[in-house]
Homo-oligomer: A and B are copies of this chain.
Amino acid sequence: MENNTERFEKLLVKNGLKRTAPRLQVLEILSSRDSATSQPYLEQVMGKDADRVTLYRVLQAFEEKGIIHKVLDQQGTANYAICSEGCSAHEHHDEHVHFNCDNCHKIYCLDSVKIPALKVPAGFKVEHLNLIATGLCANCSSKVN
């Protein structure tokens, strides 16, 4: 049974990225959480382990390689989650619904909920769909209730 670090190192090598401390740390943090992780949170947790700019560049590289995907919450804040399916540098397959809790502000990837196809007016060519639901997550609705 291989540990996380080994898995992540393989992931980096597979994508032609060098195995550096900041990159491994970002992967550790993102994979340890049950919801998407905001850039500000990542920045705070990484502290002085990595420069802000490095964090931005790590996230950008990961997104390009299809390792993570970005979700903007209702305030426009960038949140990141590890891609579950076969995403690659060529194409992402993250067209699932995202749920943004009004109470705890977490963003959940609802991998099981696919975005329904749309009928748009003539002339419009839809390339991607991005659906964010807001409300109360399972955790918060049971507490508040």
The residue that A78 contacts in the complex, of B76, B116, B134, B139, with Cβ under 8 A, is B76
Binds B, one of A20-28, A51-59, A125-133: A125-133
Given contacts A72-B76, A76-B72, A76-B76, contact A127 B120 (CB under 8 A): no
Determine whether the beta carbon of B127 is less than 8 Å from that of A141: no
Within 8 A of B (CB), among A73-114: 74, 76-78, 97, 99, 102, 108, 110, 112-113
Given contacts A76-B72, A76-B78, A78-B76, contact A128 B135 (CB under 8 A): yes
Find the B residue at minimum CB distance from A131. Answer: B131
Determine whether the beta carbon of A124 is less than 8 Å from that of B102: no
Q: What B residues does A118 contact at CB under 8 A?
A: 97, 113, 116, 131, 133
Give Cα distance in the complex from A142 to B124, angstroms: 9
Find the B residue at minimum CB distance from A128. Answer: B134
A99 CB to closest chain B CB, in angstroms? 6
Find the B residue at minimum CB distance from A119. Answer: B113
A104 CB to closest chain B CB, in angstroms? 12
Given contacts A76-B72, A127-B102, contact A133 B113 (CB under 8 A): no
